[in-house]
Amino acid sequence: MDTNPRILALMADFAIVVRSGSFTRAALHLGISKSVVSRRVTRLEEELGIQLLYRSTHSLSLTEAGERLFAQCKDLDDIAEQAKAAAAEVQQTPRGLLRITLPQALAVSPLGKLVSVFQEAYPEMQVDARVTSLQVDLIDEGFDLALRTGALADSGLVCRRISEVRIQAVATAAYLQRHGRPETVDDLSNHNCLVYSEFGVRDGTSVVGLGAPGDPPVVVGGNFSTNSGVLLLHALLAGQGIAIGPELMFEEHVTLGAVEVIFENREANAEGLYAVFPPGRFASPGRTAFVNFLVDHLGGPPGPR
Q: How high is the pLDDT of residue 173?
A: 96
Mean pLDDT for 206-212 is 62
Determine the Cα–Cα distance for residues 51 and 244; give it in Å rounded to an integer. 80
Determine the Cα–Cα distance for residues 240 and 244; give it in Å rounded to an integer. 12
Question: pLDDT tens-digit profile of 65-105?
Answer: 888 888 888 777 666 666 555 555 555 678 889 999 998 88
pLDDT band at 109 (very low <50, low <70, confident <90, very high): confident
pLDDT at 153 over 70: no
- In the chain, CATH 3.40.190.290 sits at 93-305
Q: How high is the pLDDT of residue 303?
A: 42
Mean pLDDT for 287-295 is 91
Determine the Cα–Cα distance for residues 46 and 7; give it in Å rounded to an integer. 11
Mean pLDDT for 138-154 is 81
pLDDT at 218 over 50: yes
Question: pLDDT tens-digit profile of 172-196?
Answer: 999 999 999 999 888 988 999 998 7
- In the chain, CATH 1.10.10.10 sits at 5-86
Q: Which of 8-12, 21-25, 76-80 has the lowest mean pLDDT?
A: 76-80
Q: What are phi and psi of 102, to 5 degrees?
A: -155, 155
200: left (phi over 0), alpha (psi -120 to 50) or beta: left
Q: How high is the pLDDT of residue 155?
A: 67
pLDDT at 212 over 90: no
Question: DSSP state, 282?
Answer: -
Determine the Cα–Cα distance for residues 193 and 241; give it in Å rounded to an integer. 5
Question: pLDDT tens-digit profile of 239-269?
Answer: 999 998 888 889 899 999 999 999 876 666 6
The CATH code for residues 93-305 is 3.40.190.290
> What does each C-alpha distance from 233 to 52, 152, 166, 236 come to in angstroms?
76, 26, 17, 5
How big, in percent rounded to 5, are the helix, strand and coil portions of the chain? Answer: 40, 25, 35
pLDDT at 295 over 80: yes
Q: How high is the pLDDT of residue 304?
A: 42
pLDDT band at 302 (very low <50, low <70, confident <90, very high): very low
Determine the Cα–Cα distance for residues 40 and 46; give it in Å rounded to an integer. 10
Q: Is the dihedral of CA 155, 213, 246, 184 positive or negative?
A: positive
Q: How high is the pLDDT of residue 290?
A: 93
pLDDT at 198 over 60: yes
Mean pLDDT for 281-285 is 69
Mean pLDDT for 196-218 is 62
The CATH code for residues 5-86 is 1.10.10.10
Q: Are 233 and 249 in contact (CB under 8 A)?
A: yes
The mean pLDDT value of the chain amounts to: 82
As a whole-number percent, the residues of the chain with pLDDT over 70 amount to: 80
pLDDT at 203 over 90: no
